[in-house]
Amino acid sequence: MAMPLPPGLAHSEVAFLAEMELVTVVPRQRLESIDLLGGATPPLRPPHRTDLPLWLALLLKKQRRANIVPPHWLHPSSLSEIIHHETKVNPKAFSAPPPTPVRADTHNPGHAHRQGSGGGGAQQQQQQQEQLLLSAPFRASCTADAPAGYLPYHWLEVAESLLAHAGDDVASALGASAGEVRGLLRDLVEVRAAKMRSSTADLEEFGGGLMSMRGVGAVELAESRGFVLGVVDGVRKVGASAEAVRREKEEEEGEEGGGEEGESDEEMGIF
Amino acid sequence: MDIDDILREVDPTFHSIPREKRDLQELTRAWIAERSAPELLPWPANGLFERINSNIKHQIEKVEEMTGDTDPKTNFALIVIQTELERYRYLVRSYLRARIAKIDRHTLHYLSTDDLRSRLSEMELAYATRHQALLHNHYLSSFLSSFPANLQNLNDAAAGISMIETPDLESAVFIRLLKDTFVEVRGVDADGAVNVKESDIAILRWSDAKPLVEAGSAELI
């Protein structure tokens, strides 16, 4: 078969995607800029920090040519704050994703536009400069500049990779043992998995057409994708005939001028 | 040096993303979308894949040149280039395979109208027509010719039900919003209209998500 996997990204594909995230690296050796298909890498001049994709950073780390700087949201205090937020402050929803990076618009005081959208001022007409809005993993949400207190989309994969391959860097940079960070990560995974499971109970009442899951992470999505989409599709198929009847009724009422209010049909709610 | 580089150094308001990074983001987005959507999405316009193919070819030539060098400095650069090349090719291969799998499942459907045919690239169109012709001939020689003449059609649409299998356009998908938008959704018990914010992740039907994805206000994840 051309593609034996079911629709939707599998775990391995999500991990592949997460390796494209940018992380901050402190090089130990000089390295010239390499021309890659995804753009040229910035030249490495120790001890200046540079942002590189995670796969390259891990390669350098394995060869002991660089050290990785963990992002601030991985700090134990940041993780504990997020855990507290998830359990006490907002037990129903996931914690907020990192804010979109914006840059002030110098031609328009008081306004800002999103970083990563096409050019500024007069340069906009160049070679069909489209407004390309960047999203994970191209958002630089795992570099050392990333804000603490927000979990980016690929938080679990990046955190696990850093702990597995650069545990010493994490421990020295954050001033806490890798074990402590691991423990907090486990707690966070537990809390969010519990939320994911309980949100599937909301799926039973999924009649409204859109369910929002702001702040969910990539691995959590991949794990529950099969089940959640199966439930939603199942509910839709089971209710397909009732829905068709409801739409016909609404059309008829619309044609009649819509004088009377649509009565709620109790039969629809029973399955 | 490119005019882009010169301008970038001089003008502090010039924040364009380099072409390769944009291509990579578009390719990644197209790959995720193709893997998640229930139907075949249009082949990316604006010459994306022509650029990608030629870049890959150049990169392979560069690797072959550099392999002759035994200098340890270039050796490491070679490893990096090869790793990245493999990653890039994995993306391209996976994208093409996802598309071929969809075409294989619903070949007649995608060949039926001009609008759907335009979603395929030229090579995919050639593949689909030839593959379908091969299959048809195989069926004919195996068992179809022994059916009565009026039952030999593979795209019979008698009694209002078409024989051609179409993809389920109402399956649920996950999307991420790229802009604040107002979206109208259809549900089982009620239809609704919601204001969704940027960076929201939502589950909805593909038929409701399709206009958002095409307009660029949302992406599939």
Residues of A in contact with B219 (CB under 8 A): 135
Which residue has tokens 């369910």? A211
Question: How far apart, in whole angstroms, are the C-alpha atoms of residue B61 and residue B174?
Answer: 39
Phi first, then psi: what are they for A76, rounded to 5°?
-55, -40
Domain ranges, ordered by start, for chain A: 9-97+125-271
- Minimum mean pLDDT range among A118-122, A164-168, B71-75: A118-122
pLDDT band with cut points at 50, 70 and 90 for residue A123: very low
Token digits for A229?
């989409």
Q: How far is A50 from chain B (nearest CA, A)?
A: 17
Q: Are A36 and B82 in contact (CB under 8 A)?
A: no
Phi first, then psi: what are they for A19, rounded to 5°?
-70, -5
Token digits for A25?
């690296």
pLDDT of residue A119: 37
HSE-CB at A100 with a 13 A cutoff on CA atoms is 20
Residues of B in contact with A138 (CB under 8 A): 21, 24-25, 28
User: For the domain A9-97+125-271, what is the CATH code?
Assistant: 1.20.58.1020
Partner-chain contact A116 B17, CB within 8 Å: yes
Partner-chain contact A17 B32, CB within 8 Å: yes
Partner-chain contact B178 A233, CB within 8 Å: no
Given a cut of 90, is residue B144 above it in pLDDT?
no
ipTM: 0.84
Per-residue pLDDT tens over the stretch B82-123: 999 999 999 999 999 999 999 999 999 999 889 999 999 999
pLDDT band with cut points at 50, 70 and 90 for residue A131: low
Partner-chain contact B28 A38, CB within 8 Å: no
Partner-chain contact B98 A2, CB within 8 Å: yes
Compute how many other C-beta atoms are within 10 angstroms of the C-beta atom of residue A72.
19
Of chain A, the percentage scoring pLDDT greater than 90 comes to: 19
Helix (H, G, I), strand (E, B) or coil at A235: helix
pLDDT of residue B9: 58
Among the partner residues B46, B84, B208, nearest to A36 by beta-carbon distance: B84
Q: How far apart are the first and last CA of chain B?
A: 37
Partner-chain contact A211 B204, CB within 8 Å: yes
Token digits for B4?
């882009």
Q: Are A67 and A166 in contact (CB under 8 A)?
A: yes
pLDDT of residue A264: 46
**Alpha-carbon distances of B148 from A30, A98, A263, rounded to whole Å:** 77, 65, 52
Partner-chain contact A235 B32, CB within 8 Å: no
HSE-CB at A75 with a 13 A cutoff on CA atoms is 17
* Candidates A31, A36, A199, partner chain B, best to mutate (most B CBs within 10 A): A36
* Candidates B7, B95, B199, B219, partner chain A, best to mutate (most A CBs within 10 A): B199
Beta strands B172-177 and B201-205 are antiparallel
- The order of strands in the sheet holding A66-69 is A50-53, A22-27, A66-69
Q: Are B18 and B26 in contact (CB under 8 A)?
A: no
pLDDT band with cut points at 50, 70 and 90 for residue A235: confident
Residue among A265, A262, A241, A242 at smallest CA distance from A252: A262
Helix (H, G, I), strand (E, B) or coil at A71: coil
Partner-chain contact B22 A132, CB within 8 Å: yes
**Alpha-carbon distances of A19 from A55, A145, A156, A159, A240, rounded to whole Å:** 5, 18, 12, 11, 41
pLDDT of residue A267: 44
Per-residue pLDDT tens over the stretch A166-210: 888 888 888 878 888 999 999 999 999 888 888 877 766 656 567
User: Residues B159-173: what's their mean pLDDT?
Assistant: 85
pLDDT of residue A124: 39
User: Residues A154-171: what's their mean pLDDT?
Assistant: 90
Closest residue in A to B18 (Cα) is: A39
Per-residue pLDDT tens over the stretch B29-42: 999 999 999 999 99
User: Residues A33-39: what's their mean pLDDT?
Assistant: 86
